[in-house]
Amino acid sequence: MRNCLIIFTLILNYNVCAQDGFSSDLSKTLELIYKADHEVSKKAVKNFYNDYPNHTARLLVRAYQMRWEHYPIFERDEATYKLFIQVLDSAETSARKVLNEDKNNNENAYYYMTAHIMRAELFALNDNMVKASIEGKNAFEYIKKGFEWCETNPEFYTTTGLYNYYIEFYREKGFFYRSLLWPFSKGDKKKGLEYLKEASQKATFTKVEALYYLAHLNYKMEASPANALPYANQLVRQYPSNPKFIDLKIEMLIADKQYSKAGEMLLNFNVADIPYLNARKCLYQGILTLTSENNYRKAETQIKVAIKMFEELLGDQDHYLSLAYMYLGTLENIANNASEANDLLSKAKNYAKYPYIHRQLEKLGA
């Protein structure tokens, strides 16, 4: 249910007023954030903050930079956690003042909606689903308005696309979700992807998020890594130093059986200081050892190390645990250990949360 509550996460939308300097400064600051040089981006955000001391955008830009630098933000990092909430609270308050006078103010509708969405993600990440639900409800008023606004403001194509896709994805999961989501307007998964494509081509400030979601949805939800790769390629081409985009591409290359290319990228994937990405790197190494080197014992050791790393991390690691157990089960199948293979594939199935994994497990007879 977590994804249903935070389906609009990673979206920082701005309807820029007709100020060339403001628009240019905002665009340049966001670009530096995506490039993932955090010292440089912090200086840029500080300059933007000082240059526009009364603009709500300065608060969300600051929150956005914090999110990209410190993700995932957990409560145990008390100082960062509290500051992040404080900045988002200030952004919501600032935007609400304008919306109280003009509820159809596009610009501040973006800011208000985004503040709630980012808090929803934070609370869900920290397993506070009640607070996450409240934040989602508070954002929903302007998510709905975006259905009408997207044709004149392409930034809204992203939220409209995500809503259309995810609301139907969860309805298709079964009666429980359908009963839970009955008050919400129906969506259309195909249209959702089309809206995201529009955003990736026409939007200014949601273009990167649209590309990211197109990669994610085509790979994990539509089970088509081949269709997802062009979007991951574009992200890495535009932001070659962003480790999150590199991670995305490596995983998709492996899923598309482009093992040589994945191996080449993995050689320069230096993420020892980012625990959750370091765990994924270890998993990818194990998979490539199995698929490219046929060194089964070494692959088993690497994948088991990765599993231990994932188990020690905070937050939801289910997708990567499902991958790890699936490949361990594959190893046991190769060794003709049917009983062990079945146990491992059952574990993979228990952790699996995306259609891509379920379809791979079906091929393995799980």
Render pLDDT for 257-305 as a digit per residue (tens, 0 to 9).
999 999 999 999 999 999 999 999 999 999 999 998 889 999 999 999 9
**pLDDT at 11 > cutoff 70:** no
What letter represents residue 61's amino acid? V
Q: Residue 244 class from Cβ within 10 Å (0-12 exposed, 13-18 middle, 19+ buried)?
A: middle
Residue 8 pLDDT grade (very low, low, confident, very high; cuts 50, 70, 90): very low
What letter represents residue 36's amino acid? A
Higher model confidence: residue 205 or residue 192? Answer: 192
Report the pLDDT value the prediction gives residue 1, as an integer from 0 to 100.
44
Report the pLDDT value the prediction gives residue 53, as an integer from 0 to 100.
93
158 with 13: CB under 8 angstroms?
Answer: yes
Report the pLDDT value the prediction gives residue 153, as an integer from 0 to 100.
77
Report the pLDDT value the prediction gives residue 155, as an integer from 0 to 100.
79
Q: Which of 126, 127, 155, 123 lies closest to 136 in space, CA to CA?
A: 123
Region 183-193: what's the mean pLDDT? 86
Residue 183 pLDDT grade (very low, low, confident, very high; cuts 50, 70, 90): low
Cα–Cα dist 261/263, whole Å: 5
Report the pLDDT value the prediction gives residue 198, as an integer from 0 to 100.
94
Task: Report pTM.
Answer: 0.89
pLDDT digits (tens, 9 = 90+) for 55-84: 999 999 999 899 999 999 999 999 999 999
Report the pLDDT value the prediction gives residue 151, as an integer from 0 to 100.
79
pLDDT digits (tens, 9 = 90+) for 319-337: 999 999 999 999 999 999 9
Give residues with Cβ within 8 angstroms of 198, minimum separation 6.
150, 154, 157, 161
Helix segments in the chain, DSSP class H: 2-5, 20-35, 38-51, 56-70, 78-101, 106-125, 129-149, 156-171, 175-181, 189-202, 207-216, 225-238, 243-255, 259-267, 275-288, 296-312, 318-334, 338-351, 355-363
**pLDDT at 176 > cutoff 70:** no
Region 33-51: what's the mean pLDDT? 95
**pLDDT at 169 > cutoff 50:** yes
117 with 135: CB under 8 angstroms?
Answer: yes
Higher model confidence: residue 177 or residue 284? Answer: 284
**pLDDT at 152 > cutoff 80:** no
